[in-house]
Amino acid sequence: MLTIIVIGFVIGLLIGMTSMGGGAMMTPILITFLHYDPVIAVGSDIVYAAITKIVGSAVHIKQKTVDMKLVQRLAYGSVPGAIVGALLTDYLRDITPLANDYLKLAIGLAISCSALLLFISIIFDVRGIKQWLHAFFRVERHQIGFTIVTGAFGGFLVGLTSVGAGSIMLVLMLVIYNTSTRKLIGSDIVHATILLLTAGIVHLFSGNVDWGLTGGLLIGSVPGVLLGSRFVQWVPRLLLKIVLVIILFFLGSQLIYRFFF
């Protein structure tokens, strides 16, 4: 249990400093290093993340740093996507004995995708490409359509792998919307709460949640998130993003490598 609490604290620290990467880091650590069943790791991580995000959502709503129109657009795609992804997890387990191996591969690919998107966002920041994309997405039909599609894709990934609520969604929203980062983060957290609760309920009824694991992660992560939120003002954001890219690429490649070898 102590190991779970320590892992929860470290991941919470990183979440507090970057607002992303919780599922992308937690799930592969549980599978690769602590040898949890992939389905249980995904289900438990989703429920843990949902409970954590509820607190963050309340704070952002109180501070009025939430764009409810953006949350609504994302949810149109992500809620059905999350249900399909979570149900697919159980379906795969029922039809093939290799379900766990396929799930590990899916998680590895999702994490690598998160790392790649984060790396691309760093390049966009450095080269100013983001301004051109903002001009394209200023056309509302482009913005709405891409937001709903992004929500559906991210929701499916979260339901299936627990990865994507922050690490993929937030990066794409930073590209689409020319608004304050603080408001985008607040909107992403509120949307992630809706998404994770949806996927969590499906996993809960499917028996994919280890409450002992979820509780241990929460005990460690809550103080970690609070501490990380205070540290963020002293650590360069670009450095944090680079560190997160390296960690995500390492964890994703580990799961992909173990599938093939």
Rounded to the nearest integer, the mean pLDDT of the chain is: 84
Domain contains 230? no
| Residues 6+ away with beta carbon under 8 Å from 174 | 121, 130, 181, 184
Domain contains 5? no
Residue owning tokens 């039809």:
95
- Sign of the Cα pseudo-torsion (226, 232, 237, 241, in order): negative
Average pLDDT on 99-104 reads 86
Query: Per residue in 187-212, pLDDT tens?
Result: 888 898 899 999 999 999 999 999 99
**What is the total count of domains within the chain?**
1
pLDDT confidence of residue 137: 57
Question: Whose CA is closest to 173, among 128, 229, 133, 139?
Answer: 133
Between 73 and 258, residue with greater pLDDT: 73
Domain contains 69? yes
- Percent helix, strand and coil across the chain, each rounded to 5? 85, 0, 15
Average pLDDT on 116-120 reads 82
Q: Which domain holds residue 165?
A: 37-214+235-260
Query: Per residue in 244-257, pLDDT tens?
Result: 888 888 988 988 98
pLDDT confidence of residue 240: 78
Domain contains 13? no
pLDDT band at residue 113 using 50, 70 and 90 as cut-offs = confident
Domain contains 19? no
Domain contains 11? no
Domain contains 21? no
C-alpha distances in angstroms, 231 versus 21, 26, 122, 175?
17, 20, 21, 26
pLDDT confidence of residue 232: 65
Domain contains 225? no
